[in-house]
Amino acid sequence: MLELLAAIAIALLPFLVVAGLLVVAERVQRRRERVTARQVSITDAIHQELGAVVAPTVEKSPWGPWRVVIPVRFEDPGFASHVLAVAHRALAGSSASFQIVLVPQVVARGQH
């Protein structure tokens, strides 16, 4: 009887491993979709109000808050505060915690 149970367990092990990997892959995919959706919503809000002036990125660590990284021109504090206000409004309805990080915007050569 014990040998039969061991044989059944050994036979089922590959199926359980595959099922577990599929569950992990699905969770990873859902996480990516949430990050992409949040990034698109913030980008759309900024572009709707200010035009295509910045391209924010969104990250989500497993245990930490959402992190929104926005490159801005620090030489123009009014612009930076306006971008920050729009991003904050876009995230205001969320129950999740988030951080908004402003980084210097890199200006391509030949542009001013």
Q: What CATH number does residue 91 fall under? A: 3.30.300
Q: pLDDT at position 69, please?
A: 94
Whether 71 is in a domain gets the answer yes
State pLDDT tens for residues 23-74.
999 999 998 998 899 899 999 999 999 888 888 999 988 788 889 999 988 8
Residue 64 has a CB neighbour count (10 Å cut-off) of 11
In a domain, 67, yes or no: yes
The boundaries of the domain holding residue 49 are 2-104
Residue 112 lies in a domain: no
Sign of CA dihedral 99, 102, 103, 106: positive
pLDDT of residue 97: 86
3-state DSSP of 35-84: HHHHHHHHHHHHHHHHCCCCCCEEEECCCCCEEEEEEECCCCHHHHHHHH
End-to-end Cα, the chain, rounded Å:
80
Is a pLDDT exceeding 90 seen at residue 18? yes
Q: Is the pLDDT of residue 112 over 80?
A: no
Structural domain contains residue 110: no
